[in-house]
Amino acid sequence: MQKIEKKVTFSGSLARRTLIICLLFLIIPLFVHTFFLYQREVEVAEADVRANLKAIGGEMAKRISDQIHFDWQLLNVKLCNVTLEAVFPIKKMAQGGHLSGQFAILNEKKDALLVGRAISNTEVKVLVHPLCELLSIKNPPFPIDTGINALESLDRWVEKIPIPQTQLQCVLGTSNERVYELQRQHLFFRIGTFLVFVALLGGGLVTLFYRRLSKPLNALCLTMKRVAEGAVHSRYVRQWLGFEINSIGLTFNAMMDDLLLSTQEAEVERTKREKLAQELKLGHDVQENLLPKHFPTILDFEVSGVSLPAYEVGGDFYDVLPLDSEKTLIVVADLAGKGISSCLFALGLRSSLRALAANLGSDLKQIVKQANELFLIDAEETGQFATLWIAILEKRSLHFVSLGHPPALLKREGALIELSTEGPALGLAPYKSIEVGVMQFKEGDELLIFSDGATEAVDEEGKFYGVERLKKAFLSSKSTDSADAIAQEIQRFSQGAVQHDDITFLKIFLCEKRNV
């Protein structure tokens, strides 16, 4: 075998490459991320701006409202008017009769608030408050424009707060540029500090650190190069100040040791798998050969069967065994579990049933009872059990026993009859009594015996095939169809899904009336 040469080369400064990688894959993405976050921070700042505008506006509206109510109360005082007018800047003004009662309005220049009370249709008393005083804000968190009812055009952030019991409203706002300027200042400060602490300080420390780490790392790379060239027994030697590199080197040593050991074990395991595959194939061939390929001739009846194991070998089996010229043993069994273990128990149970049927003839109760006792001896420590549908066919009379098995289906004149008896599965406990059912075949009857793997087959969506689908498939099938036709229907249903259980069918059809 030609040896493939592996060339490993190392060049350049590790510290320099590390610094460049840090800049490319850490600092630059963080810068980009910062700029992407800028718009988000502006949106967050907008929420803060609006909250501040609403809070300040609420306080301002309350302050103006309190001033207006105070002025109204002052103007409603009827005594000492001369004294009040000397203390407070109360003015009398002419009006055209459009003002009545108490009022609070802006003057024509929109620079003062007039709070007054109509004295007559031609005269009012008012208190004049310059808006610059009413709308003043001490120490605002950012520049804020204020007004009553309206503001000069602003970019974006404007809040309007109604003044209670008036038709006026405080209007507060600021511009995009002011908020953006605050955010830009914050962004530039953050970028500047980031550059100082990460790019310069962090990058310098990374460079110094990796210069020190380069020696043990180069030693590790050299060891790997030797291994790549074929010296598989080369090992890394612990270095001073190697830190995690020493751990990596020791892990590499352990990995190479495990790899060599695993290679040896894999070879042994491969041999075992090949041997097991041969044994499974042998078991599959044995089981396949034990299932009837050609059914014995039974007067007036046609018999067909099929068994599809979930794995290489399965735990289901069926059997049709002539006992004499008039009697035939019919069996369908399902062993718990799958695989070689269930297959071995199935072979043992089949042999027991055949031997007992040959010795006891048509005594179905004794066949079942003694088969269960033998099965209990074999499966006592394994917990294995088996469901069983067994019958003795004598001419056209069928005596049957069902032990934990799905009921057999009898199709007669377009309807289905379930054939089942009460009884636990084989291998659970000794039987105290056994119920035997009896059924007489009529011309055209079809009997379908199956294992639960048929109804528990699933499609790609995990839906079960179910008993109802099986009944519909059996009813719609032709009397000349074999058991394999129904099995193919289930396989089409579960195409693409994993088969989890063995599927077994045995079909018996009373084809025509003959002289007996």
Q: Any idea what the CATH number is for the domain that residue 312 is in?
A: 3.60.40.10
Residue 283 domain flag: no
Residue 504 domain flag: yes
Q: Are 141 and 49 in contact (CB under 8 A)?
A: no
* Separation CA 87–CA 80 (nearest Å): 11
Q: Residue 40: what pLDDT?
A: 63
Q: How is 227-270 classified by DSSP, letter by letter?
A: HHTT-TT--PPP-TT-THHHHHHHHHHHHHHHHHHHHHHHHHHH
Residue 212 domain flag: no
From the CB of residue 59, how many other CB atoms can be counted at a distance below 10 Å? 13
Residue 498 domain flag: yes
Residue 418 domain flag: yes
Q: Are 128 and 163 in contact (CB under 8 A)?
A: no
Letter for the amino acid at 463? K
Q: Residue 115: what pLDDT?
A: 87
Q: Residue 419: what pLDDT?
A: 94
In the listed set 155, 180, 205, which residue is the last one of a domain according to the structure?
180
Name residue 169's beta-bridge partners: 162
- Is residue 167 located within the same domain as residue 310? no
- Is residue 156 located within the same domain as residue 305? no
Q: Residue 467: what pLDDT?
A: 93
In the listed set 180, 209, 228, which residue is the last one of a domain according to the structure?
180
Residue 54 domain flag: yes
Cα-Cα end-to-end distance for the chain: 76
The helix (run of H) or strand (run of E) holding residue 464 is none
* Separation CA 317–CA 506 (nearest Å): 10
Q: Residue 391: what pLDDT?
A: 93
- Is residue 159 located within the same domain as residue 301? no
Q: Residue 79: what pLDDT?
A: 46
Q: Residue 493: what pLDDT?
A: 92
Can you point out the beta strands (E) in 357-414? 386-394, 397-403, 408-412
Name residue 172's beta-bridge partners: 146, 159
In the chain, which residues have pLDDT < 70? 1-19, 21-45, 78-87, 153-156, 187, 198-199, 202-203, 206, 209-210, 212-213, 276-277, 279-290, 312-313, 339, 512-516
Domain around 496: 291-510
Q: Residue 474: what pLDDT?
A: 92
In the listed set 150, 180, 210, which residue is the last one of a domain according to the structure?
180
Residue position matching structure tokens 């505008």? 53
Over the stretch 373-398, which tens digit does the pLDDT of each residue have?
999 888 877 888 999 999 999 988 99
Residue 454 domain flag: yes
The total domain count for the chain is 2
Helix spans in 25-75 (H): 28-75
Q: Are 217 and 14 in contact (CB under 8 A)?
A: yes
Q: Residue 80: what pLDDT?
A: 44
How are the residues of the chain apportioned to helix, strand and coil, as percentages rounded to the nearest 5? Answer: 45, 20, 35
Residue 229 domain flag: no
Over the stretch 63-119, which tens digit does the pLDDT of each residue have?
888 888 888 888 887 644 566 666 677 888 887 777 778 888 888 788 888 888 888
